[in-house]
Amino acid sequence: MDWLERAARLRQWTRSGTRAPHKPLLLLYALGRFQQDAAGELRYSAVEEDLQRLLTEYGPPNRTTPAYPFHHLVSDGVWEVRTDRGPGSPGTGVRELRTAGAAGRLAPELRAALRREPALLGRMARVLLDLHFPPSLHADLCDSVGLELESAEAGTGQFSAAARKRRDPLMRERVLTAYEYRCAFCGYDGRIGAVPVGLEAAHVRWWAFDGPDDVENGLCLCSLHHKLFDMGVLGVGDGHRVLVSQRFVGHSPAAREHVIALADRPLIGPQPGAPPVAAIHRSWHISQVFHGSPRPSAAA
């Protein structure tokens, strides 16, 4: 049984690039818990808060419930659910899962495979991360699910390497050149000698969701603003102006200066002749990543 293929082919509702990372997040969480306690199970009432936090932080902006993946992941053959009455899930209702004492864990065959081949856990996690989340979030996501990826991962794995699309290695250089090696949000342009430091090429529409390796889908961002952009704190609105989520809270002078003050500022760049971020990619990011409503201009 090819567990890497099953991880890569989780059945998800999707339409026009809509994000639905519910099952991948639950499976990553289950792998992290298995790494900590291979014999344990996840009682819904005990892990509901953790799973809701993952969906809030790493899921789409719309409010969703962890009850959905807890029930439906069974259909992918990697998960099982039982209640106080016996095997089987009571459904997707939050109240039913709680009152029935529903508990889930990795499917028996998968648990056996992970015991036989410990490195499989790391390779499955890598497939899930690569297919559903941008690289800037991988380390934080592993921390959030309690997964020590480096110790779990002995290699990339044959399927993992084949399943990943190849990124264009020239994407970074093209995007940084287009924005003249300056963060499009704050203008940061640090270098050590001739080498830029702390500047990254951010995909607006995530590469994992068919975002092309094109300049019109890229932004040159400093490391801070790249992370905030991928977390939905920042976005790019009409007129290529910076959006700052009203959900962001920061009282320090640094938070006000480096984040809140960006609200409604025009992007810095790209240089003449380089394409700006395409509207279709901006719209995808706003609908699938950006959280809440944008703040009014800090100068207002």
Residue 16 has a pLDDT of: 61
pLDDT at 162 exceeding the cut of 80: no
Range of lowest pLDDT (49-58, 224-233, 268-277) = 49-58
Residue 64 has a pLDDT of: 81
Residue 14 has a pLDDT of: 61
Residue 143 has a pLDDT of: 85
pLDDT at 165 exceeding the cut of 90: no
Residue 20 has a pLDDT of: 81
Residue 170 has a pLDDT of: 85
- 114-140 pLDDT per residue, tens: 999 999 999 999 999 999 999 889 988
Cβ pair 143, 35 in contact under 8 A: no
Give me the residue spans of the domains in the chain: 3-145, 169-289
CA separation (Å) from 37 to 31, 40, 67, 105?
10, 5, 22, 11
pLDDT at 283 exceeding the cut of 70: yes
| Whole-structure pTM value | 0.75
Among 2.60.120, 3.40.50, 3.30.1690, 1.10.10, name the CATH number for the domain at 3-145. 1.10.10
Q: Which of 130, 178, 165 is nearest to 28 (CA)?
A: 130
pLDDT at 233 exceeding the cut of 90: yes
Strands (E), 141-299: 191-192, 195-196, 199-203, 218-222, 234-236, 242-244
Return mean pLDDT, the chain. 90
CA separation (Å) from 163 to 30, 122, 129?
22, 15, 12
What is the DSSP code string of 54-102?
HHHHHS-SS---THHHHHHGGGGTSEEEEETTEES---S-HHHHHHTT-
Would you place residue 159 in the very low, low, confident or very high pLDDT band (cuts 50, 70, 90)? very low
Q: Please report, for the chain, how many H helices and E strands are present, in that order.
A: 14, 10
Going by their DSSP bridges, the two strands 195-196 and 79-83 should be labelled as: unpaired
pLDDT at 7 exceeding the cut of 60: yes
- Read off the pLDDT of each residue in 172-184 and give the average, rounded to a whole number: 96
